[in-house]
Amino acid sequence: MIEKFFRLIRGYDWTLVIVVLLLSSIGLAAIYSVDLSKGDTLIYFPVQTIAFIIGLVALIVAASVHSVFYQSFSRIAYVGVLLLLVGVLFFGATIRGTTGWFRIFGFSLQPAELAKVSLILFLAWIFYRHGRQYHKWQFVLSTIVIVGIYVGLILLQPDLGSALILLSIWFGLLLFSNTKKRYIAFLLLLGVGAFLIGWFFLFQPYQKARLVTFLDPASDPLGAGYNVSQSVIAIGAGNMFGRGLGFGSQSQLHFLPEAQTDFIFAVIAEELGLVAVLGVFLLYSLLIWRIILLTRRCRDDFSVFVLLGIAILFFTQVVVNVGAATGVLPVTGVTLPFLSYGGSSLVINFFLIGIALSIARSHA
pLDDT per position as a tens digit, 133-161:
766 778 888 888 999 999 999 988 888 88
340 confidence band (pLDDT: 50, 70, 90): very high
306 confidence band (pLDDT: 50, 70, 90): very high
- What percentage of residues in the chain have a pLDDT greater than 70? 87
pLDDT per position as a tens digit, 207-224:
666 666 655 555 555 555
Tally of domains in the chain: 1
86 compared with 226, residue with greater pLDDT? 86
325 vs 259: CA distance, rounded Å: 10
127 compared with 186, residue with greater pLDDT? 127
pLDDT per position as a tens digit, 17-29:
999 999 999 999 9
Chain centre distance of CA 197: 25
280 confidence band (pLDDT: 50, 70, 90): very high
Predicted pLDDT of residue 243 = 86
Predicted pLDDT of residue 93 = 85
150 vs 166: CA distance, rounded Å: 8
Residue 98 confidence (pLDDT) above 90:
no
- For CA atoms 70, 74, 77, 82, give the dihedral sign: positive
- Strand partners of residue 98: 95
Which helix (H) or strand (E) element contains residue 104? Answer: strand 98-104
Domain that holds residue 114: 2-362
Q: For residue 336, what are the contacts with CB-CB under 8 A and spacing of at least 6?
A: 27, 264, 265, 317, 318, 321, 322
- CA-based nearest residue to 117, from 347, 284, 363: 347
Q: How are beta strands 107-109 and 98-104 bridged, if at all? A: antiparallel
pLDDT per position as a tens digit, 30-62:
999 888 877 777 888 999 999 999 999 999 999
- CA-based nearest residue to 166, from 179, 190, 148, 180: 148
CB contact at 8 A, 69 and 285: no
CA dist 337 → 27, 53, 103, 270, 352 (Å): 9, 16, 22, 19, 11
Predicted pLDDT of residue 237 = 83
